[in-house]
Amino acid sequence: MTIRAKLYLYKNVRKTPFINGYRPTFNLGKGLTSGRILLLNGKKSFFPGEEDEVEINFLSENFLGDKFKVGENIIFTEGLTPIGEIKILRIYN
């Protein structure tokens, strides 16, 4: 399942950028699941404090719960630490 989302990476939590293919954990209302972030327009890195559109591919549909809808804001984490948030703009499949 792939979505387009506006992503904001918190500025004072993560100290380094992440690269294309990064897989944090998302809570979409039915448990935690990982999602692979795909950077757009040839972008290679995403820096703390930055906000931009990305695509996210969720590896398992089993944990896509009540928060999996257009307009929803979702926090994503590294381990137990929230490091950013997304707003779902479009659901592709």
Residues 6+ apart with CB under 8 A from 90: 3, 4, 70
pTM of the model: 0.91
List the domain range (segments joined by +) for residue 76: 2-91
CATH of the domain at 23: 2.40.30.10
pLDDT beyond 90 at 31 = no
The predicted pLDDT at position 83 comes to: 96
Per-residue model confidence as pLDDT tens digits over 10-24: 999 989 999 999 999
Q: Which of 2, 1, 5 is nearest to 52 (CA)?
A: 5
Per the structure, the count of domains in the chain is 1
